[in-house]
Amino acid sequence: MNYLEKLEKKKISKFLNKGYLISKIEDKDSLKYIKEKFLKIIRKTIKKRSFKNFNIIHQEVSVDNLNSFRLKIIQEINKDEKFRLAYFKVARKSLFSLVGNELMMQKNINLSIQFPDDKSSLLPIHSDVWSGDSPFEINLWVPLVDCFKTKSMYILEQKDYEYFKKRIQKEKIKSSSDIFSLVKNKINFLNVKFGEFVLFNQSLPHGNLVNKLDETRWSMNCRFKNLFTPYEDKRIGEFFTPITMRPMTEIGINYKDIF
């Protein structure tokens, strides 16, 4: 029997069909907090109190300083527990629908900043499970700007994944370039506006290309998984922390037989 509600079933169907779900932010106050936190850090870092347009940060920061700038922001947002809570709340209902209501959250939220025509910020095609992540994990991707075409990430949709598996077993793969050549005509660049999020199956091949638009891409990503699903290389305490453990789970974990 399936006791899921109609809205949940609709959301799940979309996710299973494509391998990802694009939806509106579920808590606007949380997104507002995230944006204001970023602006506060950026203004302090570049010493420009009037800065407000994420799309033109490449006019304020050089490519040579981009990585140190990005790492500074990552360090600051991950020191703020309220920021982590806000990040979770932007997609809380959808995470519960797709993953479950006893969740583990990655300890650190990641940030991508991709300048126009910058080749130093490329992420070649990959699947996270190829490098030690569990196939039970989902990735929550939240942009701070409108992302589309090469200003966004691409993914191989679920419907094309079977084609990919058959092809890759027959080909001699030596590099990520070889993998990309197999699927370059099937990848889909996600169209995600500021105020929306993506939950995607990180087992599916994905990545980015050189940003050919004249605006900078800003996007965060963080993995979530159900507490009771298998772990690979990245484990509780080292990579994940529990965020919605229920009381009976805690009671059961701490129970000791008295006989």
Helix (H, G, I), strand (E, B) or coil at 58: helix
Residue 23 forms part of a structural domain? yes
Distance CA 148, CA 193 (A): 8
| Terminal C-alpha separation, the chain | 38
For residue 217, count other CB atoms closer than 10 A to its CB. Answer: 26
pLDDT digits (tens, 9 = 90+) for 135-155: 999 999 999 999 999 999 999
Its pTM stands at 0.96
pLDDT digits (tens, 9 = 90+) for 64-95: 999 999 999 999 999 999 999 999 999 999 99
pLDDT digits (tens, 9 = 90+) for 2-61: 899 999 999 999 999 999 999 999 999 999 999 999 999 999 999 999 999 999 999 999
- Structurally, the chain folds into a number of domains equal to 1
Where residue 96 sits, what CATH number does that domain have? 2.60.120.620
Q: Are 179 and 173 in contact (CB under 8 A)?
A: yes
Residue 1 forms part of a structural domain? no
Residue 122 forms part of a structural domain? yes
Residue 25 forms part of a structural domain? yes
Distance CA 99, CA 257 (A): 31
Residue 259 forms part of a structural domain? no
Beta partners for 194? 196
* Rounded average pLDDT over 189-193: 98
pLDDT digits (tens, 9 = 90+) for 95-134: 999 999 999 999 999 999 999 999 998 999 999 999 889 9
Range of the domain at 51: 6-254
Helix axes 158-170, 6-18, angle to 10 degrees: 30
**Predicted local confidence at residue 9, as pLDDT:** 94
Question: What is the b/e burial string over 172-201, where b = at least 16 CB atoms within 10 angstroms of the residue's CB?
Answer: eeeeeeebbebbeeebbbbebebebbbbbb
